[in-house]
Structure 1
Amino acid sequence: MNAIPPHEAKNRYLKDKSTDVTDSTLSNYRTTLNGFCDWLCDEAGVKTLNTLTSDEIQQFKEWRLERVKTITLKTDMTCIKGFIQFCEHISAVPDGMSQLVRVPKPSREDEVSDSILTSDEATEILDYLEKHEYASLRHVVFLVLWKTGMRRSSLYGLDKRDFEDGSKPYLKVRHRPETETPLKNKGRGDRDVRISGEVADVLRDYLRFNHRDGEDEHGRTPLLMSSHGKRCEPSTIQRNIYTVTRPCHYTGECPMGRDLDECEATSYNTASKCPASVSPHALRRGYVTESLNAGQPKDVTADRVDMSHEVMDKHYDKATKNEQMERREDYLVDV
């Protein structure tokens, strides 16, 4: 076996994976493996991987479980298992070691997130934005995510030219990895997404009054521009959603009875600390659930949001049993 230090093997693995996965996935791998390799070096005293044992991997798993949820540990250990398989390939660890990496199996309750924005909440937020933050960046971010169900990364990658403002307006979602805006499903995620006249009106006014024209380093004019004249980062999109979904932001009151003068979650950068705020993913779940409840066919919804039926059923459709019954109502026949 070769005597290869953990971080050196990690770097070779990331370089090998760089052609197979998106930049965001590669970044997630790097974060996970940095933590794993740091633990091996600092806690287990592993200098080269040819001395690594399955017990040390298990000890890391137990250490990590004390700090994260089971679903997160599953993601971590799946990544580590792939890394160890690569290490077998370059003869850095004994053959068969990857088979000894135990990936936890979360319960369905652990695996499925319940975070969702409801239609009533979305309507109240949109009413607030329409009145107080009309055609602002935050208004556009929330409106497009709620009305289309698209991923944050898809919104991030939109250019000004991707807004087709005709009699039947739509947004062109495209995989552009060569200019740093890839889609999760790559070219398979390319699609045109119809938007309503209401959404088009807000986009039109945003571009006219609040958009800072300019180009990014690739000569593209982003649809979402920061105050610095650059493409809005995904983190900016996320912080805006956390901010506007805090009940105190759009109602002026805290449903948990907190003193707003003392609450740690009232600033833009700390909004995620509000227990009632949600991430962009909750809007995606809400869109899928409400669309299906309204009778939109599953095929149409899946194509619109670029999602498989299996993933939709398991992770995104949060309809209650009663709502599911109501959906079936129109299709029932008396026999």
Structure 2
Amino acid sequence: MSRDLSPREARDRFLSRRRQENTEKTVRSYENRLTRFVEWTEEQRIDSMSELSGWDIDEYRSAREASGVAPATLRGQLMALKQLLDYCASIDVVDHRVPEKVNIPTLSKSEESNDTKLEVDDADALLTFYRSSSEMFGRPEHAFLEVAWHTGARMSGIRALDMGDFDPDRQTLEFRHRPPTRLKNKEEGERVVGISKPVVKALRTYVARERFEKRDEEGREPLFSGRQGRPSDTTFRAWSYLGTQPCRVVQCPHGNRRATCDYTRRNHASKCPSSRSPHAIRTGSITWQLLQGLSIDVVAARVNATPKTIRRHYYRAAERDEFEELRAEYTLKLDIGNYD
């Protein structure tokens, strides 16, 4: 027997289920994305989820596009809507064909580079998964994601790290310009960056279990090391794309099965529409650090950028209200999880 729920009731029920599986920050992200849909249905006098048709869903997308929302934001809102409808179909509130009527847009290359980042809730979910997985904890994908997210460093900077640059006792990583491994701003980009204890633990596990005892062509001992020594940029990108695939945590937003999906293969991981590049991780990290309450100058120093660049590209006017609202809520213990 099917049940009847209003869009607001369906959203609240869905969120209550999410709270059993996700952090509160992830749930809050779902709520923000789905509230747009709920408010739209109420404006359209759609009182029951069972009334929804493909036409209604397309009209909602058109309304969001007309509002001027960024393509990446629109995509995230429609992905959340599809997950809501998948849940409603599973409890017989909507017909099982309704979720398939959500047409999730594919971003162009320019939209990908300008607007797409690893979102805070996605990073939270991924790192929570890795930290609780006995199989994946400390694997290259996990260790790279921990460092990339918590430092906001460029891929070239992470690749340049040597074993001696990691001080687990002081909880620091030291980025140094030592050609042929280079920092973007050369010696001016050198800095020491603090990392939290969970990041230290992940790196220690990576070094103990996964790292190859190899030197590079200059005789240095790279922190991230493969069979041939210091990994190539291609290898780091593969770790990034493989490590950020959402199907490690939730149902595939594109309707694929992980066991048979070509995107889970190393050479095809970059083709997954929801995987993220090292630059996208950096972009998300910088925004997250600002939301944690760190000043623009502090973030700029951590990520080797100028305060002007941070203001222009990351501290957008649309995010300032959210920054002020969240600053008092979060502590300055810079870690993706809630650790004492």
Length-normalised TM-score, structure 1: 0.60
Greater CA deviation, 149-158 or 253-262? Answer: 253-262
Q: Which secondary structure does the structure 1 equivalent of 2:193 belong to? A: strand
- The residue number in structure 2 matching 1:244 is 243
**Does residue 139 of the first structure (1) align with residue 151 of the second (2)?**
no
Among 253, 263, 274, which residue is 1:276 paired with? 274
Spell out, residue by residue over 1:149-170, the C-alpha distance to the aligned partner (whole angstroms, 9 max, x if none). 111000000001111122x220
Give the aligned partner of residue 200 of structure 1: 200
Alignment of 1:175-186 (within 5 A): 175-177=177-179, 180-186=180-186
Deviation string, structure 1 residues 51-72 (Cα, Å, up to 9, x no partner): xxxxxxxxxxxxxxxxxxxxxx
8 Å CA contact 1:112, 1:315 repeated in 2: no
Matched position secondary structure for 1:217 = coil
Q: Which amino acid aligns with 2:196?
A: S
**Deviations 1:27-62 (Å, cap 9, x if unpaired)?**
xxxxxxxxxxxxxxxxxxxxxxxxxxxxxxxxxxxx
What is the CA-CA distance between 1:276 and the residue it aligns to? 1.1
Aligned counterparts of 2:185 and 2:177: Cα–Cα separation in 1: 8
The C-alpha deviation readout for 1:178-223, integer Å capped at 9, x for no partner, is xx10111111101111111111122122222222112111110100
Give the secondary-structure state (helix, strand or coil) at the position aligned to 1:265: helix
Confirm whether residue 187 of structure 1 aligns to residue 187 of structure 2.
Answer: yes
8 Å Cα contact 2:172-2:194 kept in structure 1: yes
Q: Where does residue 169 of structure 1 map in the other structure?
A: 171
Sort the Cα spacing of 1:184 and 1:128 in 2 relative to 1 into closer, same or farther, 3 A: same
Aligned to 1:121: 122
| Equivalent pairs, count | 217
- Does structure 2 conserve the Cα–Cα contact (< 8 Å) formed by 1:288 and 1:317? no
Q: 1:163 to 1:262 in 2, by over 3 A?
A: closer
Query: CA separation of 1:315/1:183 partners in 2, compared to 1, >3 Å: closer, same or farther?
Result: same
Q: Considering only CA atoms, is the larger Rg found in Structure 1 or Structure 2? A: 1
Residue 288 (structure 2) pairs with residue 286 (structure 1): no
- Cα distance in 2 between the residues matched to 1:254 and 1:110: 22
Query: What's the CA shift for 1:234?
Result: 1.6
Give me the identity figure in percent: 37
The aligned residue for residue 45 of structure 1 is none
CA distance in 2, matches of 1:306, 1:203: 22
Residue in structure 1 matched with residue 36 of structure 2 by the alignment: none
Q: Which runs of 5+ in 1 are unaligned?
A: 1-108, 331-335
- CA positional deviation for 1:141: 0.5
Partner in structure 1 of residue 27 of structure 2: none
CA RMSD of aligned residues (A): 2.4
The Cα shift of 1:310 comes to 2.1
Q: Are 1:145 and 1:280, in contact at CA under 8 Å, matched by a contact in 2?
A: yes
Cα deviation for residue 116 of structure 1 reads: 1.1
Q: CA 1:261/1:315 → structure 2, altered by over 3 Å: closer, same or farther?
A: same
Q: Is the partner of 1:113 in helix, strand or coil?
A: helix
- The corresponding residue for 1:255 is 253
Aligned residue runs from structure 1 range 64-79, under 5 A: none
Once the 2 structures are TM-superposed, how far is the Cα of residue 176 of structure 1 from its aligned partner? Answer: 0.7
Where 1:129 maps in the other structure, the secondary structure is helix
Q: Is the 8 A contact 1:158 1:222 kept in 2?
A: yes
- Aligned with residue 155 of structure 1, among 148, 154, 158: 158
Distance 1:169 1:183 in 2: 21
Pick aligned residue for 2:305 from 304, 307, 312: 307
In the TM superposition, what whole-angstrom CA distance separates every residue of 1:303-323 from its partner, at most 9, and x where no partner exists?
A: 011111222122234663541
Q: Which amino acid aligns with 2:275?
A: S
Gap regions ≥5 residues in structure 2: 1-109, 330-340
1:280-326 Cα distance to aligned partner (Å, 9 max, x none): 11111111111111211111111011111222122234663541452
Query: If the length of structure 2 is used for normalisation, what is the TM-score?
Result: 0.59
Flag the 1:241–1:328 CA change in 2: closer, same or farther, 3 A: closer
Distance 2:287 2:149 in 1: 11
Q: Do the aligned partners of residues 261 and 198 (structure 1) sit closer, same or farther apart at CA in structure 2, a change above 3 Å counting?
A: closer
Deviations along 1:105-131, one digit per CA (max 9) or x if unpaired, are xxxx97971111122111111122221
Q: What's 2:94 paired with? A: none
